[in-house]
Amino acid sequence: MPNKSSRSNVREPMSRVRKTYFARLVGRCLILLITILLFWLSPDQLDILDGWRFFDRFSLLHLLWIIWVIDMIYQLIPIKELLPLGSQKLFKLRFKPIREKMNYQALKNHIASTTRSAYKVFLIWAALIIALGALYYLKVISGKILFLISVIFYVCDLICVLIWCPFRLIMRNRCCTTCRIFNWDHMMMFTPMIYVNGFFSASLLILAFIIWGIWELFVAFHPERFWDQTNEALQCAQCTDKLCTQYCQKLRK
């Protein structure tokens, strides 16, 4: 029989969700490349960022706006197959209560601890956005540059999921499935555009903050869905997503 060490060296097949996310990462990298080319070669395509010029004429940015809106709408709907559990754990559909009696005091302590960590991330991110705002008002960077930064964050979002996430250093969560701030992604992506006065940015920011607010309400009213000690679906043994396997493999060693 193979020993434990030989089994641990065998690579597990990549999950469907992880394959999908790698494909999405490639797509986001292409979108970033296209937006950079538009910025240099056809900057008038980015004019729809200003005021109500969104409705003046068609631009390739309209397609990106549609992609982003659809992505956010998906986060508002309980969908079992298309999205990973980490994004959908707020919904009752993805909740599998533990068989034992719940320890509500332990749950309360866990949520309080993870919420403190989450808002450390929030404050750090707010400081970054304020710094970008200062550069914008000092005319060091333009609204179009802020848009490009949002697209860069759009790519970095999946790098955090698939490769390495700096926020784990603060959150200390096991993986994306248990991440307290999983659905903060669009809010964090689009906040650089908070200084851009236009329908394009305002519509995305409003929807992103609605999603963030709904997520936080569910944490407050249904905290048991966000902890693997009260929701069996979040436990490693139940995981089918295997989205961030670099962390899973370390746990199994």
Q: What is the dihedral of CA 143, 149, 150, 154, to 10 degrees?
A: 160
Q: What is the pLDDT of residues 48-79, one digit of tens each?
A: 999 999 999 999 999 999 999 999 999 999 98
Q: Does 38 map to a domain? A: yes
Q: What is the pLDDT of residues 203-238, one digit of tens each?
A: 999 999 999 999 999 999 999 999 999 999 999 888
pLDDT of residue 165 exceeding 80: yes
Q: Does 230 map to a domain? A: yes
Q: Does 34 map to a domain? A: yes
Q: What is the mean pLDDT of the chain?
A: 91
pLDDT at position 83: 85
Q: Does 3 map to a domain? A: no
Residues 50 and 195: beta-carbon distance below 8 Å? no
DSSP 116-152: HHHHHHHHHHHHHHHHHHHHHHTTSS-HHHHHHHHHH
Q: Does 4 map to a domain? A: no
pLDDT at position 178: 93
Q: What is the pLDDT of residues 112-139, one digit of tens each?
A: 999 999 999 999 999 999 999 999 999 9
Residues 208 and 187: beta-carbon distance below 8 Å? yes
Based on C-alpha coordinates, what's the Rg of the chain?
20
Contacts of 164 (CB under 8 A, 6+ apart): 246
Q: Does 9 map to a domain? A: no
Q: Does 241 map to a domain? A: yes
Q: Per the structure block, which two tokens stand in for 48?
A: 């729809």
Choose between 66 and 168: higher pLDDT.
Answer: 66
pLDDT of residue 247 exceeding 60: no
Average pLDDT over residues 7-25: 79
Q: What is the pLDDT of residues 142-159, one digit of tens each?
A: 999 999 999 999 999 999
Task: Give dist(CA 90, CA 130) in Å, integer.
Answer: 30
Domain range for 59: 14-252
pLDDT at position 248: 61
The number of domains in the chain is 1
Q: Does 228 map to a domain? A: yes
Of 26, 6, 22, the residue nearest 14 (C-alpha):
22
Q: What is the pLDDT of residues 179-211, one digit of tens each?
A: 999 999 999 999 999 999 999 999 999 999 999
Choose between 211 and 176: higher pLDDT.
Answer: 211
